[in-house]
Chains A and B, each alone.
Chain A
């Protein structure tokens, strides 16, 4: 009988994927807050942004729809492997200006190279590119 070991590389990938799935709503106090209408205009609690998460061989991608938001009103923050996107939406009607913020946090897998995260805003669609780190080399540990 022969035992085959799963490839460590594959295991790492599965762990990443699981992490995304386990915390897709990470950063939110409670799931019920999604249905709280008070979340929108008039409160200090930012409304929740919808997101799409993708991956390819080199990167993870997170996409958010923020029509009418200027580049300078978008804030991206990475803290404790949690990426938070906050968009300040300003709406002008005559002399009045109303503003409210939209926000979303997603957990970032360990394998992301934090220092190379980039973002692009085009036609109201924000795409955050989270590059995967170069394949981690297997380490050999010597026994003394």
Chain B
């Protein structure tokens, strides 16, 4: 598997401001010569609650809102966690920020990060 990023331990500043407890979601990364793909599992999060930020090679994904059970429901047995999600990844490659693409369906966020033209591997002809 291609490693494109390392988790950053820093707590997102916005989360601290909200004073909300967040947890790290399950995620996986993969990559080609052209782009990296990050898949993040965010079950129970509505599409409009996901925010993606990219600043100085750090990708921040946050979903502070997770759909919880209505107040009228009385819990009988709990195993799932109601906390929102936060993920910060430090990218090791130069990314073309303008072409950053994100898709969200069935509770899975897929972020595609195209590698900047200058950072792609090149073959140099020997004269």
Point out residues on A near B: beta carbons under 8 Å.
17, 20-21, 24, 50-57, 60-61, 63, 65-70, 93, 121-125
Distance in Å: Cβ of A127 to nearest Cβ of chain B: 9
The contact size tier of chain B is 20 to 34
Q: Is the CB of A24 within 8 A of B77?
A: yes
Interface hub of A17, A65, A121, A123 (most chain B Cβ within 10 A): A123
- Nearest to A123 among chain B residues (CB) is B107
Instruction: Return the contact of A123 from the options B30, B67, B69 (Cβ within 8 A).
Output: B67
When A and B form their complex, which 7 residue pairs have the shortest distance between CB atoms, in order from nearest? A124-B107, A67-B107, A124-B43, A54-B73, A65-B43, A53-B77, A50-B79
Bits for B44-84, please: 1 = Cβ < 8 Å to A, else 0.
Answer: 11110000000000000000000101101111111110000
CA distance A57 to B73 in the complex (A): 8
Contacts A67-B43, A93-B30 given; indicate if A124 touches B75 (C-beta within 8 A). no
CA distance A63 to B107 in the complex (A): 14
Q: Is the CB of A51 within 8 A of B43?
A: no
B113 at the interface (CB under 8 A from A): no
Contacts A68-B107, A68-B108 given; indicate if A51 touches B41 (C-beta within 8 A). no
Distance in Å: Cβ of A32 to nearest Cβ of chain B: 17
Distance in Å: Cβ of A124 to nearest Cβ of chain B: 2
